Amino acid sequence: MERFIDPRTLARVSDMPLVARTVADGFLHGIQSSHQRGVGIEFSQYRSYEPGDEPGRIDWKLFARSDRYFVREAERESEIAIWVVLDCSQSMAQRSSPGVWSKFDYGRYLAATIAYLAQRQGDMVGFLTLSSNTQELLRPQTGERQWHRIIKKLHGVAPGGLMPPVSRVQALLGQLQRPGLVVVISDLHQASDEIHALLRRMSTRHNEVTCLQLQCNDELTFPWQGPTRFEDLETGEQLLVTGRSARTQYLSGLEAHQEQLDRSLGLLGISVDKIDIDQPMDVALHAFLTRRQRRLGS
């Protein structure tokens, strides 16, 4: 039975790991997982046992000699990493008037859920925050401990500043170019040239980059009617307009901008999946994974 979880319910839960598990469990069934580590593949190494590891993978002979639990690991046929990149710029503080999520809070829970799914299926998962105020990187590792490291980072970040120029984060972005999947969670509100340059630097022929573009009801429908003052969250610039007369021009401009963005990123081989933060998160994730499966032909 499908589970539809309202964001308003999730927003009342302060325990991020619980939220991630709750959302993830709603659509784990039926999703094709990647090949698991250590299953039918040549053995390569040991690592310390972590909560959540299958007991059957514990090397009991080694335990008898060392009195410590070690898990047998194997190399994948193609070792990959999943990177979760979170936009922490000030524009992510936006929320819609009927909603309780800001884009940033929705993005944090989304990042936690994706990281949880990745470690559940045995993938290495890494994490990167990007803004002019903060750039923090966790190198990819497997296991539940890595997920908890990511959760700790997510608790400690806040939206602020702008997206940094490529020149400032060259070394960090270079880490993302190993074989694998890079999931960028952002509203993509940066100038087209800036976001294009950042995503181009992330993308190589060895990896895949996909963007989860966070949008909210207000920016999609422009519900204002009378005189309304708008403020750019990143620059502080303000603009006073009459909502009813500005609506048609705004929606037309938004459509043109989105078409240009989709087209330019498509030329880089980067897909853009739009997520409405005023819709249930598990529904959005299920739709994203379903579209991804279609694109991969699985």
- The per-residue pLDDT for 130 is 92
Q: Which residue has the higher pLDDT, 103 or 225?
A: 103
- The per-residue pLDDT for 40 is 31
Residue type (1 letter), 297: G
Contacts of 77 (CB under 8 A, 6+ apart): 35, 41
Name the CATH topology of 7-29+78-296.
Answer: Rossmann fold (3.40.50)
- The per-residue pLDDT for 158 is 92
Secondary structure (DSSP) of 211-265: EEEEE-HHHHH----SEEEEE-TTT--EEEEEHHHHHHHHHHHHHHHHHHHHHHH
Structural domain boundaries of the chain? Answer: 7-29+78-296, 43-74
Q: Render the burial of 107-128: b for 16+ CB within 10 Å, e for the rest.
A: bbbbbbbbbbbbbbbbbbbbbb
Q: Which residue has the higher pLDDT, 65 or 150?
A: 150
- C-alpha 209/C-alpha 199 separation (Å) is 8
Mean pLDDT of the chain: 78
pTM: 0.75
Secondary structure (DSSP) of 156-206: H----S-PPPGGGSHHHHHHTTSSEEEEEEE---S-HHHHHHHHHHH--TT
Q: Residue 259 burial (CB < 10 Å; 0-12/13-18/19+)?
A: exposed
Is residue 149 over pLDDT 90?
yes
Q: What would the pLDDT profile of 55-113 be if each residue is shown by its tens digit?
A: 777 777 777 777 777 776 654 434 578 899 999 999 899 888 777 789 999 999 899 88
> Where does the pLDDT of residue 44 fall: very low under 50, low under 70, confident under 90, or very high at 90 and above?
very low
- The per-residue pLDDT for 272 is 92
Q: Distances in Å between the alpha carbon of 57 and those of 46, 63, 67, 164?
A: 10, 12, 16, 43
Is residue 19 over pLDDT 70?
no
Structure tokens that stand for 214 in this block: 């966070």
- C-alpha 172/C-alpha 260 separation (Å) is 27
Contact 52, 121 (CB under 8 A): no
Question: How wide is the angle at C-alpha 104 spanned by C-alphas 100 and 110, nearest 5°?
Answer: 90
Return the minimum-mean-pLDDT range out of 60-64, 174-178, 254-258: 60-64
- C-alpha 38/C-alpha 209 separation (Å) is 27
